[in-house]
């Protein structure tokens, strides 16, 4: 696991919730996705559209995920999402912890793959080694 961690504050909004005012579980995955982008933005010093251009890649699609829902969050709750990353050759795993007032509410992991456009067929994507300078920026943090 990289020593680089990113934390971000999120407020649970009414639109995130079911009629009982409890967050509808798929919305956690939107929070995780945004937290992965925030992790890269902080480490690289570029927003997502900028680093897509700089590194000439097609993104990092999700290939596996897992979550454990410990306690629900509700409309109006202020949560903290802590995200850490571990790199492979062309894939990486991000672990997220959602906490409220220091208490663990949800933990999840995402496995993603660094992909580029296939030169032979630009409509297709293929995995590609993560650039060494990207990994170095995370390890420096």
Given this model, what pLDDT does residue 15 score? 95
What the chain holds in terms of domains, given with CATH numbers, is 5-140 (3.10.129.10)
| Residue 21, Cβ density class (10 Å: 0-12 exposed, 13-18 middle, ≥19 buried) | middle
- Reading phi first (left if > 0) and then psi (alpha if -120 to 50, else beta), residue 21 is in left
Strand partners, 67: 108
Instruction: State what percent of residues in the chain have pLDDT above 70.
Output: 97
State the maximum Cα–Cα separation within the chain, in Å, rounded to a whole number.
51
User: Which tens digits make up the pLDDT trace of 64-81?
Assistant: 999 999 999 999 999 999
**Could you say which residues of the chain have pLDDT below 70?**
1-2, 141
Closest to 26 (Cα-Cα) out of 82, 108, 111: 108
């Amino acid at each position: 696991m990289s020593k680089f961690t990113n934390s971000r504050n999120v407020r649970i909004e009414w639109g995130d919730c079911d009629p009982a005012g409890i967050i509808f579980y798929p919305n956690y995955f939107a929070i995780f996705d945004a937290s992965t982008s925030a992790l890269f933005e902080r480490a690289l010093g570029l927003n997502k559209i900028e680093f897509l251009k700089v590194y000439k890649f097609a993104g990092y699609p999700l290939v596996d995920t897992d979550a454990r829902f410990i306690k629900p969050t509700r409309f109006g709750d202020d949560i903290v999402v802590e995200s850490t990353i571990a790199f492979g050759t062309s894939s990486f795993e991000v672990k997220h912890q959602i906490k409220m007032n220091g208490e663990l509410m949800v933990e999840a992991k995402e496995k993603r793959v660094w992909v580029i456009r296939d030169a032979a067929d630009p409509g297709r994507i293929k995995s590609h080694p993560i650039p060494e300078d990207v990994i170095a920026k995370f390890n420096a943090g």
